[in-house]
Amino acid sequence: MTEFNEKIIDGKAFAEGLRARIAVQAAAFEAKAGRKAGLAVVLVGEDPASQVYVASKAKQTVECGMESFEHKLPADTTQETLLALIDRLNADDAVDGILVQLPLPKHLDEQTVVERISPDKDVDGLTPISTGRLALGLPGLVPCTPLGSLMLLKDRLGNLSGKDAVVIGRSILVGKPMVQLLLGENCTVTVAHSRTQNLADVVRRADIVVAAVGRPEMIKGEWIKPGATVIDVGINRLPPEEGKKKGRIVGDVDYQSAIQVAGAITPVPGGVGPMTIGVLLRNALVAAHRNAGVELADGILD
């Protein structure tokens, strides 16, 4: 089974290395700027999964030597109250990055809330200005999961120029920014989705497959071009088997069949998932350098 182990792209190990580099640069920033880089996370409501995720973000922020500002609001918080908080965080020089944990309660307008965040502090890369900068190839903050996926690809493959890539999924969180990032690396990119005709044939032509469609084990091993690199962004929980309380967590790719064919593949869990918080911290530190006018060497946090 050694050959299979060599195929596995270990996102957890890469994320650990990224956080170590962030910690070094965070200390250097503090010495130059006279303050720590600051990340504010806003949580509205009491969704258990979101609470765990936010707690993990806060813990890792502090461990990397940055300031963590947590704002936990009740589920019945009004739009006006939430927007007022974002305005205060935008004006706070101690806060370099702002993340509003999504999804929000249904009575709140997510798009309006996201648009209120200053693009200079938009560590999720979701504001219209951030997405526009990405589309134009201008410097800006990029969504965490796609950027983490790109980091894993470049770490495994090196130069991506000229490679054929297919992105399965067209969400604003992953699919669309992933396409822009791959175009920026001079890949030839095809956008596919659940309604693409002859999807298997489309996937079979690709050197790089990024699966972010949200359907458990949809992409089969027989669809994968031999030697292709597969990035599985999906996180899906299957129904529990008899006698078990929880079902298995699987990706959008049928891992067991795909690993037989792929040249490299991310597992689920342990692949792309660990990268998301690491890149969030990276974005916060990049924003801190820009906001404080402190130079950060290119590529040092990639």
b/e sequence 31-53, b meaning 16+ C-beta within 10 Å: eebeebbbbbbbbbbebeebeeb
Binding-site members are 169-171, 235
How crowded is the C-beta side of 264, counted as CA atoms within 13 Å? Answer: 17
Would you call 101 a catalytic residue per the annotation?
Answer: yes
Cis previous bond, 103, omega within 30:
yes
Task: Say which residue the tokens 């947590």 belong to.
Answer: 70
Residue from 57, 121, 163, 176 carrying the catalytic annotation = 57
Q: Is 244 a known active-site residue?
A: no
Q: Is 254 a catalytic residue?
A: no
- Give the separation between CA 29 and CA 24, rounded to whole angstroms: 9
The residue annotated as part of the active site, out of 96, 101, 121, 225, is 101
Angstrom distance (rounded) from CA 123 to CA 287 = 8
Binding residues for NADP(+): 169-171, 235
The number of CA neighbours under 13 Å toward the Cβ of 240 is 5
Structure letter (DSSP) for residue 270: T
CB 205 within 8 A of CB 162: no
From 96, 122, 124, 207, active-site residue: 124
Intra-chain end-to-end CA distance of the chain, in Å? 31
Contacts of 11 (CB under 8 A, 6+ apart): 148, 152, 266, 270, 271, 272, 273, 274, 275
Catalytically active residues are 57, 101, 124
